[in-house]
Amino acid sequence: MVKQMTKDTTPTHDVIMIGAGPASLSAAIYTTREDVDTLIFEKGAIGGLAAITDWIDNYPGFAKGVAGLELADSLWQQAERFGAKIELGEVTEIINEGKFKRLKTTSGDYLAKAVLIATGSDYKKLGIPGEKEYYGRGVHYCATCDGAFYRDKHLVVVGGGNSAVQEAIFLTRFTKGIDLLVRGDKFRASEVLQHELAKNKDKITVHMNTTTDEISGVLPTGKPPTGGKVTKVIGTNKLTGKKVEFPTDGVFIFVGLSPNTEFVKGSDIELDKVGLIKTGQLLETSMPGVFAAGDVRSGATMQIASATGEGATAALIIRKYLEGHA
């Protein structure tokens, strides 16, 4: 199948995939191998959150684990080897025009016979004073990206799930000490990660039942603003009700993920109560010809291995859909 041009010269593809994470890259390997003209749109990092994950220990086939960037890069190279094209840009809207779906993007309009949404999720924000003001100046959401800036510094890590514990452990290779703030009275992280955390108690001090209320420091000045730095995190001890302060050079926040589905809100694509895309057994959304796979899909397991599997499944389903809508 080859790229077509409609009467209005809008670029047209057999399938356009939104997001270049493990689900889309896996799907593209399957579609392009069967000569299905495939274009992938990505607004951020190719490989998604997998690309900025330091180390992945539970992906099948890697007995000793694999670096997230290495896995993402391998998927990317494999998809491109079979002919997938990646366009850096953002899809802002999907419009159902019957046989074709019109995608409004930052690069102009595109048409596709089928669409795969695999935009994944992004890091949740706390929504507290100082978080936005100090973003990139002491507030971070990616240890792999920014941890090296804090060599021999002291940090605060917020969160009690797998990501928070895993990233806190990763940060110990740079920092001299970490205060780990956990809102609840127990970890949500796996037993394996908790066991690893215990091995790092010389560098990581755990504070259970502690909220994170405010990030304080010296604000940037000038136009454009320059400088600025975080100096402390202010929280509350839930057991005593008293305010607590943690002097720090930086804050890394890992409190879960939010689905990247803003661009479909208000469309015919149905979302669940948390904003994930609802799908049927064949990964189809409520808009005919539009499918979803990976972490953006309601009911997803939020694992890289399952995202790649759903991507492959989606590709096979899309191929059958295209055959029936030639």
Q: Which of 304-308's residues contact partners 24+ apart within 8 Å by CB, and which partners? A: 304/22, 304/50, 304/56, 304/59, 304/71, 305/58, 305/59, 305/60, 307/21, 307/22, 307/23, 307/26, 307/118, 307/120, 308/22, 308/23, 308/25, 308/26, 308/75
pLDDT at 197: 97
Residue 4 has pLDDT above 60, yes or no: no
Task: State if pTM tops 0.85.
Answer: no
Which residue reads 């796996």 in tokens? 190
What's the pLDDT tens digit per position in 147-162?
A: 989 999 999 999 999 9
Residue 2 has pLDDT above 70, yes or no: no
Of 229, 232, 210, 213, the C-alpha closest to 221 is 229
What's the pLDDT tens digit per position in 40-84?
A: 999 988 988 888 777 788 889 999 889 888 999 999 999 999 999
115-134 mean pLDDT: 94
pLDDT at 8: 63
Identify the H or E element spanning 134.
none
What's the pLDDT tens digit per position in 169-212?
A: 999 999 999 999 999 999 999 999 999 999 999 999 999 999 99
DSSP letter assigned to residue 228: -
Q: Is 222 exposed, middle or buried (0-12, 13-18, 19+ CB in 10 A)?
A: exposed
pLDDT at 323: 94
Residue 1 pLDDT grade (very low, low, confident, very high; cuts 50, 70, 90): very low
Tell me which of 324 and 53 has the higher pLDDT: 324
- Provide DSSP, 10-23: -EEEEEEEE--SHH
Domains of the chain: 4-122+257-324 (3.50.50.60), 125-253 (3.50.50.60)
What's the pLDDT tens digit per position in 220-255?
A: 777 766 778 999 999 999 999 999 999 999 999 999
